[in-house]
Amino acid sequence: MTALLATEHLTMRFGGVVAVDDVSLAVADGELRCLIGPNGAGKSTLFKCLTGQIKPSAGRILWRGQDITGLNSFEIARLGVGIKTQVPSLFDGLTVLESVRLALRRQARERVARVQALATLERLGIVELAQHLVVLLAHGQRQLVELAMVVAPEPDLIILDEPTAGMSAEETTRAARVIRALNAAHTIIVVEHDMQFIRAIAKTVTVLHQGRVLIEDDVASVLADRRVQDVYLGKTDVSWQVVA
């Protein structure tokens, strides 16, 4: 079966630094995939390549088998990809409702967009914030507003970049619950480095290290893997005869 999103030998170089090195992975429809790795593993660069923020130096990105390498962010979003950034990227001067409505207005008419926006806010439990200015919200609420903007248009794929950044343990547990619930209707890729969070949500995990795929397996096997433990505990003598 054709993967929903796949990369083939994806490479991103910045001068002499190879941030993403020959990464090939495939995410199937309905999957909940975690991309993990310690700082500097290339997660964020891979995220930027997948979301069209930077153009890869080599390799291809495929959407349902079709080459989408080099498309702009807005073109990737139009394919049906919802993107949530690490630091909430929001319209600070607008209200919560207007923000979510804008996420829907590309496809829907004004009235339909309003109804759908309110329904999304209801679903995420923040409908009481509808008329609040985004700039006045607390960090956790801002995360939820961005999530509402991402899920409102019902994208086929949601890519989340470090969704638990800056969250308390309690908020992280709640976020894991929300992401698992979203996975019932959407394919999800989560870019993360918090192992506790990964344990709480993941099914298949791809571990990146120094720009390359170190291992790709189910969460239990990945957590038990000595090389992964070495990477997270800071040892560097990791063997490269890998890849699932």
Partner 1 sequence: MNGIRLPIELTAASVVTIAAILILPHVLELFALINATVYVSMAVLALSLALVWGFGGILCFGQATFFGLGGYAYAVAAINFGDTVYAVPVAIAVPALVAAALGYVMFYGRISDVYIGAITLTLTLILFNFVNSTSGDQWRIGAAPLGGFNGIPSTPPLNMPGDPGNPLPPEWIFAVAMLSLLICYIIAKLILRARFGRVIVAIRENERRAELLGYDVRAYKLGIFVIGGAMAGLSGLLFANCVFVSPTMFSLFYSGQIIVWVMVGGLSTLVGPVIGAILLNLLTTWAGTLPEINPSLILGAILALAVLVMPRGILPSLATVLGRFRGARGMT
Stretch that binds partner 1, among 10-18, 89-97, 204-212, 219-227 (CB under 8 A): 89-97
Kind of pairing between the strands at 204-209 and 212-218: antiparallel
Q: Is 123 exposed, middle or buried (0-12, 13-18, 19+ CB in 10 A)?
A: middle
Cα–Cα distances in Å, from 35 out to 1, 16, 23, 26, 65?
A: 22, 24, 12, 12, 21
Least spacing, CB of residue 83 vs partner 1, in Å: 5
From 4, 77, 121, 130, residue interacting with partner 1 (rule: CB under 8 A): 77
Site string for partner 1, 172-211 (x = CB under 8 A): ----------------------------------------
Q: Which two tokens stand for residue 135?
A: 């700039």
**Residue number with CB closer to partner 1 (161 or 216):** 161
Cα–Cα distances in Å, from 85 out to 149, 150, 237?
A: 12, 10, 32
Helix (H, G, I), strand (E, B) or coil at 207: strand
Least spacing, CB of residue 89 vs partner 1, in Å: 4
From 15, 110, 170, 234, residue interacting with partner 1 (rule: CB under 8 A): 110
Q: Is the dihedral of CA 115, 120, 125, 128 positive or negative?
A: negative
For residues 90 and 142, the answer to whether their CB atoms sit within 8 Å is yes
From 12, 96, 97, 103, residue interacting with partner 1 (rule: CB under 8 A): 103
**Residue number with CB closer to partner 1 (150 or 214):** 150
Tell me the H-state helices in the chain.
Answer: 43-50, 73-80, 96-105, 110-123, 139-151, 169-182, 195-201, 219-224, 226-233
**Residue number with CB closer to partner 1 (17 or 74):** 74
Q: Is the dihedral of CA 145, 149, 154, 159 positive or negative?
A: negative
Q: Which residues 124-153 are close enough to bind partner 1 by CB under 8 A? A: 149, 153
Q: Helix 169-182 crosses helix 139-151 at what angle (to 10 degrees)?
A: 10
Binding residues for partner 1, rule CB under 8 A, total: 23
Least spacing, CB of residue 30 vs partner 1, in Å: 22
Query: If binding is defined by CB under 8 A, does position 95 make contact with partner 1?
Result: no
From 7, 44, 85, 183, residue interacting with partner 1 (rule: CB under 8 A): 85
For residues 95 and 121, the answer to whether their CB atoms sit within 8 Å is no
Query: If binding is defined by CB under 8 A, does position 86 make contact with partner 1?
Result: no
Q: Which residues 47-76 are close enough to bind partner 1 by CB under 8 A? A: 51, 72-74
Question: What are the residues binding partner 1 (CB under 8 A)?
Answer: 51, 72-74, 77-78, 83, 85, 89-94, 98-99, 102-103, 105-106, 110, 149, 153
